[in-house]
Amino acid sequence: MRKPLLLIGLQWILLSAMAQNIDFKFSGGISDADLSAVMEKRVSGLLTELNAACAQNRELQLASFHLTSRASQSLQLLWKNFHFSCNDSKIRQLCLQDVNGYEIRGVAITLTPMGSNFKGELNRELTICFAPDKEITGVHMALANNSFASIVGKGRDVTDTRRRLEILKFVEDFRSYYDEKDLEALRNVYSDDALIITGKVIHRRNLGHDQAQMKPEIVYSKQNKEQYLSSLQRVFQNNKFIRVQFDSISVRRHPAKAGFYAVTLHQKWQSSNYSDDGYVFLLWEFKEGASPVVHVRTWQPDMIGSQKLDEDDVFNENDFFIP
């Protein structure tokens, strides 16, 4: 039997009332009062909408919050895999500034996964990025705050520090593209000549004294950009959700090639059909006036049988020739 329209309307009002309104303010880092007020209003409204949509289990309504089309699309894709809401009604955070605009970090959220077999951490943090014109350019789940300090704090000079901050942002975006199943965004990240290397553990028969003994080892396969993206598209289609987590992040400026940075990440991959742990190596190139691109991506399992992969065996920048 259908519910009366009045009852449905009352339920909607109750759900809306249960959703927590958010009051966001900067605790420092920005001196322009007018700019600050506009950004605070947009963040407060956006976070309140996240809470309401989560409570009502509905799609996001983002038209009034001044997101770029790319940021809106990215957030909508993420929302298909995870709903999330803010933990606090009053949020006070620093405004971080760089050459690309402004950034807010450390907004605590709780996930409501859309897949029933999700086993990841439910308490996360959001990063919200603004362009200089106050438009929201990105809303992503952040890396840990200690990762932020360890990566950016090791900059040797102004340019190095700026690029390390850019790398942190791009790594967060890069991880989110997998969560969001955003194939086109990943297409733009990889260079046309990108080399993709993936390791897989197999067991070979040991030809020593014990013929029945099986010895585990890693074999590697190479793909170009289009082969990798075609394979990834099938993975996206066959999994209801994908969650990628990065930790143990290392960023190194290439000792011989200007503009190149090596990033090593410990990756935990969880999807509705598959999960694994391993090491991802990324070789990024930075050029002034252009978005950085990945020339090399490798993945290696962190365990070979019962033995952990030795750190010396993880790919690094010295394993690849840069013309």
Per-residue model confidence (pLDDT) at position 156: 56
Has residue 169 been placed in a domain? no
- Model pLDDT for residues 163-185, shown as the tens digit of each residue: 777 777 788 888 888 888 889 98
Residue 165 lies in a domain: no
**pLDDT digit string, tens, across residues 257-308:** 888 989 998 888 888 888 889 999 999 998 877 778 999 999 999 888 778 8
- Tokens 């976070």 correspond to 47
**Mean pLDDT to the nearest integer, 2-30:** 62
Q: Are residues 24 and 114 in the same domain?
A: yes
Alpha helices, DSSP H, located in 191-274: 225-238
Question: Measuring CA to CA, which residue among 126, 125, 129 is closest to residue 103?
Answer: 129
Cα–Cα distance between 92 and 67 in angstroms, integer?
Answer: 21
Do 102 and 201 reside in the same domain of the chain? no
Same domain for 220 and 131: no
Confidence at 210, pLDDT banded by 50, 70, 90: low
In a domain, 67, yes or no: yes
pLDDT at 212 (0 to 100): 53
If you average pLDDT over residues 4-29, what whole number do you get?
62
**Domain assignment present for 164:** no
Strands 190-205 and 293-301: parallel
pLDDT digits (tens, 9 = 90+) for 18-72: 457 899 999 999 999 999 999 999 999 999 999 999 999 999 999 999 999 989 9
Q: Are residues 199 and 260 in the same domain?
A: yes
| In the predicted structure, residue 323 carries a pLDDT above the cut 90 | no
Phi, psi of 309 (to 5 degrees): -60, 130
Phi, psi of 109 (to 5 degrees): -135, 160
pLDDT-based confidence at residue 214 (cuts at 50, 70, 90) = low
Q: Say whether pLDDT at 227 is over 50.
A: yes
Question: Do 45 and 109 share a domain, yes or no?
Answer: yes
Q: Has residue 115 been placed in a domain?
A: yes
pLDDT digits (tens, 9 = 90+) for 190-206: 999 999 999 887 766 65
Question: pLDDT digit string (tens) for 71-94?
Answer: 998 899 889 878 899 988 999 999
User: What SS3 class is residue 89?
Assistant: coil
Q: Are residues 203 and 294 in the same domain?
A: yes
Does residue 173 fall inside a structural domain? no
The count of domains in the chain is: 2
Residue 291, domain CATH: 3.10.450
Predicted local distance difference test score (pLDDT) of residue 258: 85
3 state SS of 80:
helix
CA dihedral over 85, 88, 89, 90, signed as positive or negative: negative
CB-based burial, 48-57: b 16+ in 10 Å, e otherwise:
bbbbbbbbbe
Same domain, 138 and 197: no
- Is 157 within the bounds of a domain? no
171 in a domain, yes or no? no
CA-wise closest residue to 249 among 167, 318, 160, 166: 167
Structural domain span for residue 32: 20-142
CA-nearest of 59, 117, 119, 108 to 83 is: 59
- d(CA 223, CA 211) in angstroms, rounded, equals 34
Angle at 143 between CA 42 and CA 192, to 5 degrees: 95
pLDDT higher than 70, residue 322: yes
Q: In terms of pLDDT, which residue wins out, 319 or 163?
A: 319
> Do residues 47 and 86 make contact, with C-beta atoms less than 8 angstroms apart?
yes
Q: Which residues pair with 278 in a beta bridge?
A: 267, 301
